[in-house]
Amino acid sequence: MRAKEPIKKICEFCGCEFEAYTQIARYCSHDCNRKAYRKIKRKEVISLTASMASQTKRERTKSDLSEREYISISDAAAIMGVSRWTIYRNVVQGIIPAKRLSQRTTLIRKKDIETLFDVIEPYEVLVTGERKLIDEWYTIDEITEKYGLLRHRIRKIINAEGIPTKKAGTRTLIAKNKIDTYFKKKGFDTTLSNLADWITTVEVMESYNMTEHSVRVFVSRYAIPKKRINGKLYYSKQHIDKLKNKES
């Protein structure tokens, strides 16, 4: 259908901009149309020729192999329609007899390939490892409280490590064993989560007569254990007392 107004398009052959009056126009001129058609047909002929050549080569190879008593691993793979590594694994396992003549030459009797299926054993079903059911889950708040990380940091760890999650209503539950394993590898001391006394930055300032800046420097320098509850940061009073007593 002819458009009322010209449509600006790009010629698919020469790349020049042109004004078209139909939605299906692809070329700016009859010359580009003719050249594009010839190019498409040339590619079809080349593809067909390559396919025929490849088929001829396979047929010639099969014909050559039919006259040979001993074949290589590559030839055996071509006959059976499998990869070289499949043949090699079967040779190593003793399923297919083979003779190594040199470091790079291994020959197989074609008769052994042909008689491979003369004796058929019961089909072996490969057993895969059973996945253990996950029956213990954390909420994000529980992880935040236990490991002292912000919620967005917990989500990054879950995504990066591929830790299983599931929905329970509006809550997101995280596989407990996977999270604990991750933090154990990172060197997290599980005894820290059982510390009895935790105090905020303000409480540290009041108890030890420190400024907010000095508190931040102190807890960072001595790696004081910390945890976050409902967005508020707490520090281990036990560790701070021990260090302060040493200083005094």
Per-residue pLDDT tens over the stretch 21-53: 888 888 899 899 999 999 999 989 898 888 887
Altogether, the residues listed in the chain come to a count of 248
pLDDT digits (tens, 9 = 90+) for 84-107: 888 888 888 888 889 888 888 899
Res. 130: pLDDT tops 60? no
| More confidently predicted of 194 and 221 | 221
Please report the pLDDT score of residue 155 as a whole number.
Answer: 85
| The pLDDT value given to residue 190 | 55
pLDDT of residue 126: 60
Which pLDDT belongs to residue 151?
77
Q: Is the pLDDT confidence value at 192 over 60?
A: no
Alpha-carbon distance of 167 to 236, in angstroms, equals 33
Cβ proximity of 240 and 209 under 8 Å: no
Please, are residues 172 and 164 in contact by the beta-carbon 8 Å criterion?
no
CA distances from 192 to 137, 195, 227 (A): 20, 5, 9
Q: Which tokens hold the place of 40?
A: 């498409």
> What is the model's pLDDT at position 76?
87
Q: What is the pLDDT at residue 148?
A: 67
Letter string b/e over residues 111-147, b meaning 16 or more CB atoms within 10 A of that residue's CB: eebeeeeeeeeeeeeeeeeeeeeeeebbebeebbbbb
